[in-house]
Structure 1
Amino acid sequence: MKRFEGKVALVTGGRSGIGLATARRLTAEGARVFTAQRGDDREFEAIAVDFTVPAGAAHAIDTVVARAKRLDVLVNNAGMMQEALVEDMSLADWERTIAVNLTTPFVLIKAAMPHLRSAGGTIVNVGSIEGLGSNPKHAAYCASKAGLHGLTRAVAIDHSAEGVRCNAVAPGWIDTDLNVEFIESMSDPKSFRQQIGKIHPVGRTGKPEEVASLIAWLASPESSFVTGQVWTIDGGRMAKLSLPP
């Protein structure tokens, strides 16, 4: 099935994890895919960008349109996380997290909107279940993802009548390289993975390809009546009530 034949997509943070799986999925379905992140990307047409600087986001959109003459799909996936209590986090660290996780998607959407409007395009923002709840010491990350969910709804309200849909996914624990490395750093990785699996009703953590599948559906014509929604993809974790240990 080639749902994106003749379409052009930009995936930020497309060199690893959910971004990489999404870029591969869109490519497999016919899209011409650009990725934007720090450094090079040998698998896709890459745009080197520093997303801590707002001008970098606008540059990414301009580069895609200059090369491909159109833009049909924008996937805002690039993000970062810093752990600290509110009283211990510097203002600079707070602003950096907000810049990458929330301001960058805003600037990308702003720059992309004329092209997406012309193409009848779609936007998919990669939020998090931490936009719905929070883990310890994740104040900046949690706030930025909650903000991204709100931005998703606002953009949908303002632009869906113009033919531009905007949705978000809220992944839970996904086996990205970073999370796998974290598990492997434990004294007993096998036991830790089992414990992590138990907090999910499906009995395991998620795969980047599973999130990419949802993103591709939201970006495709098959979801043409879906906009302004945040789709939780977490193996049922947020639906499960906790029990005493």
Structure 2
Amino acid sequence: MMRFEGKVALVTGGNGGIGKAIAQRFASEGARVFTAQRSAEDEFEGVVADFSDPKAAEDTISNIITKAGRLDILVNNAGMMQEANIEDMSLEDWDRNLRVNLTAPFLLIKAALPYLRESKGSIVNIGSIEGLGANPLHAAYCATKAGLHGLTRAVAIDHGKDGIRCNAVAPGWIDTKLNNDFIDSMPDPDAFRQDIGTIHPIGRTGQTKEIAALVAFLAAEESGFITGQIYTADGGRMAKLSLP
């Protein structure tokens, strides 16, 4: 099924993990795919961008418009996670988390709006279940992902009249390099891997291709009546109460 033939998609943070799976899904369905991240990317048309720099967003969109002449889909996937409690986090680190996880999506949307208005395009933001709940030492990550969920709703309300839809996906535990590195940092990684599936009613952690499938659905015309929504994809983890 070639749902995105003739369309141009931008996926930030598209050189690994969830971002790469999303980019591959769009390409497999006919889209011309650009990715934007700090390092060069060879599989797609890569744009080198450091989203801690506020100028990167406008430069990225301008680069794509120069090369492709249009933009139909924007996926804000690039992000960072820093573990620290509030007392130990510096204002500089807090600001950097905000710039990468929340200000960059805002600026990318702002720069992309004229072109998405022309194409009646779709925005999909990659939030997190940590925008709904919290893990220890993730104050900045939780705050920025909750903010991204709020931004999603606001864009949907303000720009629905322009034919632009904006939704978000809130993944749970997905098998990415970031999460695998976290497991490897545990005192007993094998025991952690064995136990992690038990917190999910579905009995396992998620795969990047499953998030990519949901993002593709939200970007496609078949979801044309869906906007302003936050889709949790977590194997039922957030729905499960702890034992009494």
TM-score > 0.5, shorter chain as reference: yes
Counterpart position of 1:214? 214
Matched, 1:121 2:121: yes
Matched residues in 2 for 1:198 and 1:175: separation? Answer: 15
Counterpart position of 1:18? 18
Counterpart position of 2:147? 147
Counterpart position of 1:181? 181
Matched residues in 2 for 1:170 and 1:137: separation? Answer: 19
CA deviations on 1:147-196 (whole Å, 9 max, x unpaired) are 00000000000001210000000000000112123223445433211211
Unaligned runs of 5+ in 2: none
CA deviations on 1:54-97 (whole Å, 9 max, x unpaired) are 11011111101110000000000000011111111000000000
- What is the letter of the counterpart of residue 5 of structure 2? E
SS at match of 2:190: helix
Q: How does 1:1-245 map to 2 (within 5 A)?
A: 1-243=1-243
SS at match of 2:84: coil
- What is the letter of the counterpart of residue 207 of structure 1? Q
- Percent identical pairs in the alignment equals 68
SS at match of 2:124: strand
TM-score by length of 2: 0.98
Matched residues in 2 for 1:2 and 1:29: separation? Answer: 4
SS at match of 2:21: helix
Query: How many angstroms does 1:243 deviate by?
Result: 1.4
Matched residues in 2 for 1:90 and 1:194: separation? Answer: 35
Matched residues in 2 for 1:131 and 1:103: separation? Answer: 16
SS at match of 2:34: strand
Matched residues in 2 for 1:83 and 1:4: separation? Answer: 38
CA deviations on 1:191-215 (whole Å, 9 max, x unpaired) are 2112110000001100111000000
Matched residues in 2 for 1:6 and 1:123: separation? Answer: 17
Segments of 4+ moved more than 6 angstroms: none
* Matched residues, number: 244
Note closer, same or farther for the CA distance 1:187–1:140 as it changes in structure 2 (3 Å cut): closer
- What is the letter of the counterpart of residue 160 of structure 1? G
Matched residues in 1 for 2:209 and 2:107: separation? Answer: 27
Unaligned runs of 5+ in 1: none
- What is the letter of the counterpart of residue 148 of structure 1? L
